[in-house]
Structure 1
Amino acid sequence: MGWLGLDDTDHLGGGCTTLTMHRLLASLPHGVQLIGDPSLVRLYPMAKARTRGNAALSAELNVHIDPDAWLAWLESYWSSTIEPLAGQCTASTHAARPQVPSDPGLVWYESKPSEEFYRKAVRKEVVLDDGPAPAWSKGGTGKIGAMAAVAWSGHATTWEGIAWRDESKQSRRLDEEALRALDRDERLFACRDPRQGRGLLAPRGASPVLCGIRGTERSAVADAMQTLLTAEGTEPASGQRVFRTNQGSGDHLRPPIQATIESVDVIQGGHVALRTDRGTWLAFAPSGLIREVASRLCPGDVVQGLGLQSTKPGREGLHLEALQHLSGPLRNLRRPTCPACRKRMKSAGKGQGLRCTNCDHTDDDRWVGDEVVPSGWVQPPLDRRRHLAPDMSTWKPEPLLDRNNAPTSS
């Protein structure tokens, strides 16, 4: 028994690590069997050399052949099939971030490493030397993700069924009636964007993936794959497989931070910068309700935020993935109405309280207003969330970070 990890054969021109792992597992020599489902593990979303989906793969295997013969097979498969995938790089047509050439890594462990390295790799930038030493490995920086995928314990598991297509430049064809049936299954998630009525199962651009269906139960995902792939309006798939995943786990997020708003600024691009007593928080324009709630905040408001810290020039701060408005000063301040005639009272002059101009009733100088209604957690639209983003309506975040120990943004 052992664990195999793979990462970084992705590139925007059609490279796909899930397909590479699928083909490897389909090619295993006689005497080596897959145990259960392989794992698809999303890692730190801000990693400098991240791939398109920033996912690595791992699989638990039963090896009933001579250990030297197994390692020889891995060497041969690496040299003939995976190593040639290195150095592929395709520029993005819609994103400014420079693309990094593929640098595959393949690792083999005879005993499962501690989850500690996964926890690091999903929350921050790590280097190769940080990882647990494998029994055998080949390749470059892809070994980092491969190690982390093996180290993932499988807690908070969700599932994704992925189907691949033969190379084609044609638009993907998925049966609309079958898609509507999938929308009604509450065990599936991130299938369709309700704002636009657009399916989220098929990637855009050059990718061999035909579709990916995510869910909280394996049986639901497997059944949905069968429903969609056998439907009349769906194009033929060249292969399919179910993966267990950490998608929707929120593992990349640290506990929420509670802060008080000091100022609110709309910056270039329509984004909202919240200056707080815990640093700068950024609500980006595509984040939907997060930006909407952020734009209505005012000094003195108490909020909680979840997100990742960035040091990118011009975008320094906490990049919000969830936000909730807890309390704050009264809104729509106004003078109270006269208790005698119900007319709005006015100031009688400095230090002279309030006076009703209709009946001369007097009162103490004060303002009334609308109480803040807590917003609850708000998140970006489905098509703008990270793969790791949890559903805040059901997810239970860790306790608030202690103010004295919590990191703050600049």
Structure 2
Amino acid sequence: MLSASSDEAVLSGAEKTGPDPQPSDGSGGQPGATALLREPHGQPSPPPLPPPHMNGCVPLPHQVAGHRFGVRETGIFQHPDGDVLKQLQPPPRGPREMCFYDTVYAEDCRDPRLLELRSHLPKYHGTWSSSPDDGPAGGDLYLKLEDVTRRFVKPCIMDVKLGRRGYDPFDSREKRERQIRKYPLMEEIGFRVLGMRVYEATGDAFHSYDKRYGIGLVKDTLRDGLARFFNNGAGLRKDVVSAGVGRVRRVLGWFESQRQLVFYSSSLLFVYEGLLPSSLSLSLSSLPSIPSIGPASPEADIRVAVPLDRGPATMCANRRKGDAASNVVVAAASSEEDDSPRKHAAGRRSRPNENGIRSPQEGRSVQGIGETERRATRRDKDKQTKEEKEVEVRMIDFAHVFPSDSHDHGYIYGLKHLLAVLEQILHESS
């Protein structure tokens, strides 16, 4: 379930029944820009027939953003084995995205940051060609990616573009101005909803919202607009919001730990099961106040270390360098893990007098408390892990990724602001 890097939002087929009442966009009480589509009985309308050379591949039925086949000549397809096929974009965007995936998923990759990054991406299964000879000549080339929605019965999906701008430092002035006009608040908010698809359990139907819905969200309506994705018609899915917060925090942790890549026009894809647990078990058995964020310079997140024409080549070349440097990085990462705050905290508990000596009574007391704390921590962690497994949050769209020598300030800014909104939704629902 992946969206192309374009801003042309598409929705699963539906019959338009009129706009749903939306929060005001501040323009005299007029409803915010939106398009609401209802899919009767929870089933999308039949997609357009694919061209014959696609060899059994069909247009992705649950796409919420990006180019859609039938609307444009290109689109995103689903392979007969269930994988998603994303057509390679024209140079330099397409080759850059392919090189990104090749670098992260290389068999000889030893970079601990890239290895950790894999857990936040859809799995990459190489490329696929529509040519009968399985080659690019005479056919289109596609990235073959995991469909992260596949394990869900009623997948609710949201595509959120992250960062303070929708263009990269090498885009033309015309494109920069066009992207700024599209959503002027993005620099301040740090993210934008590109599209979403929500299952209404009470009516057994999906509701889909396109890019106009996201563009219509302003500061005063952002929280309620985002909360709509987590509402199944009967109430807010607080369990999903909580799990989503945990997932986004993990992505933020990765960004705060790395200084080698910077991402523009990239998105987070949220997916959760729309059926409630009781309904899900029956369905499966029948199957065969937002915290203030400090000001930052508009140019603070532009720290690209190489020019546009060298970006993909440099990334791939760096991966092909000798393993000696990589081994050093791995060793350094291991040292960092050993120096973690949790380890220090454990060390402090083992020597309460700061001299390693304690009385037998004190030892029994500390040991009892420590064991209780460990059990409670394990229970909390198991519960959190179980909740997070019910929600997918994956990074997608990498046509504008460049090597860097600093933190990705724009993406980090967007993640922190998105977290603040999600936490406010969770707090005000309690």
Q: Considering fraction of residues, name the structure with more helix.
A: 2
Which entry has the higher C-alpha Rg, 1 or 2?
1
Choose between structure 1 and 2: higher strand proportion.
Answer: 1
Q: Which fold has the larger relative contact order, with Cα–Cα distance below 8 Å and residues 6 or more apart in sequence?
A: 2
- TM-score (ref. length: structure 2): 0.27
TM-score, normalised to structure 1's length? 0.28
